[in-house]
């Protein structure tokens, strides 16, 4: 699944970085209160470390923009500024672009089914996103303990089910080292959860 590495990022990436900050500057990560842009930067770094293209890196910066910051209007802005490829990757990483969002279980199941047929670019950005989310969840667990599960609509059982399901799909679809890292983190979360059951 490795592509040719991007040797240099252009002004498009810089523009996307500024745009991502503008869109998400009021947003924080649930549980930790960390500025949301930290997540976007981490996802983008993981995409680039996996050999992602500039389009994939831009999609990493903007992967939550449609879902969290404006739906169809934001999608159109992204299409006009960064093109169809970036928009298609973001669409592939978006669980829902409607308000209110569909029920949690339905949304997650639909996303998992979609990943079975997603493009390599969507898989690379999605994997980076889910890996960073899992790492953040583990870090939050060490700081806050079992109370972290209250921040998630799926609770402990649903959240762990979703991450284990992601691991299984990514293992089928990718040979990236990030799949092994995601599995390691998810296994650690499962073990911590079992230890207090």
Average pLDDT of the segment spanning 157-175: 97
Mean residue pLDDT of the chain comes to 92
CA distance 38 to 42: 6
How is residue 156 written in tokens? Answer: 């402990």
Q: pTM of the full predicted structure?
A: 0.93
Per-residue model confidence (pLDDT) at position 172: 97
Going from N- to C-terminal start, the domains of the chain cover 11-195
pLDDT digits (tens, 9 = 90+) for 27-81: 888 777 889 999 999 999 999 999 999 999 999 999 999 988 888 999 999 999 9
CA atoms within 13 A on the CB side of 50: 30
pLDDT of residue 115: 97
pLDDT in tens, 71-122: 899 999 999 999 999 999 999 999 887 777 789 999 999 999 999 999 999 9
Is the domain 11-195 a CATH 3.40.50.970 member? no
């Amino acid at each position: 699944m490795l592509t040719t590495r991007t040797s240099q990022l252009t002004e498009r990436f810089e523009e996307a970085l500024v745009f991502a900050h503008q869109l998400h500057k009021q947003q924080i990560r649930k549980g930790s209160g960390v500025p949301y842009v930290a997540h976007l930067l981490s996802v983008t770094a993981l995409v680039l470390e996996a050999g992602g293209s500039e389009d994939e890196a831009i999609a990493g910066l903007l992967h939550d923009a449609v879902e969290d910051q404006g739906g169809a209007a934001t999608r159109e802005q992204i299409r006009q500024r960064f093109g169809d490829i970036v928009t298609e990757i973001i669409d592939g990483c978006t669980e829902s672009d409607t308000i209110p969002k569909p029920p949690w279980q339905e949304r997650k199941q639909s996303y998992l089914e979609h990943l079975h047929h997603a493009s390599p670019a969507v898989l690379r950005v999605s994997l980076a996103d889910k890996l960073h989310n899992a790492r953040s969840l583990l870090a939050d667990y060490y700081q806050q303990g079992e109370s972290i599960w209250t921040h998630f609509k799926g609770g402990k059982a649903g959240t762990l089910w979703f991450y284990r399901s992601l691991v299984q799909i990514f293992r089928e679809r990718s040979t990236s080292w990030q799949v092994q890292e995601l599995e390691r983190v998810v296994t650690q979360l499962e073990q911590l959860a079992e230890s207090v059951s």
